[in-house]
């Protein structure tokens, strides 16, 4: 079994999405990335509807984490809440595909940002 310590990313064939999903943690395997990471992305997209909405909700959640709820308007708070719920559900569905249970997490990264 191969294990990697660096984050591994799920890339999409046949159409680039505006984001990548990384599986981070100890002993991340190819299966963790290819199966669990893919499942996480599919679950997020199915719950939020479109890739544009995934980005919109993720940005709202990121802003909420950075600036606090007092600085967000009603719809933006709703988008942040939608992200958090979709993330929790997607994580719950995808974690069962980890080859070795350990402290691993899914990280969404927008393309073109560090």
Global confidence as pTM: 0.82
Cα–Cα distance, 105 to 28 (Å, whole number): 10
The list of the chain residues with pLDDT below 50 reads 1-14
- 2 located within any domain: no
Question: Hey, is 22 helix, strand or coil?
Answer: strand
- 3 located within any domain: no
- 77 located within any domain: yes
What pLDDT score does 13 carry?
43
- 94 located within any domain: yes
- 1 located within any domain: no
Tokens 């940005």 belong to residue: 59
What pLDDT score does 11 carry?
45
- 85 located within any domain: yes
Residue 103: domain span? 8-110
How many domains does the chain divide into? 1
Structure tokens at 114: 């560090």
- 54 located within any domain: yes
What pLDDT score does 65 carry?
95
* Total residue length of the chain: 114
């Amino acid at each position: 079994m191969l294990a990697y310590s660096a984050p591994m990313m799920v890339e999409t064939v046949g159409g680039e999405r505006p984001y990548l999903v990384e599986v981070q943690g100890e002993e991340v395997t190819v299966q963790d990335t290819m199966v669990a990471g893919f499942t996480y992305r599919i679950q997020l997209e199915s719950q939020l509807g479109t890739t544009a909405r995934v980005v919109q909700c993720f940005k709202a959640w990121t802003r909420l984490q950075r600036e606090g709820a007092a600085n967000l308007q009603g719809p933006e708070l709703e988008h942040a809440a939608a992200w958090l719920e979709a993330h929790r559900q997607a994580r719950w569905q995808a974690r069962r595909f980890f080859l070795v249970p350990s402290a691993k997490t899914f990280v969404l990264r927008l393309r073109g940002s560090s």
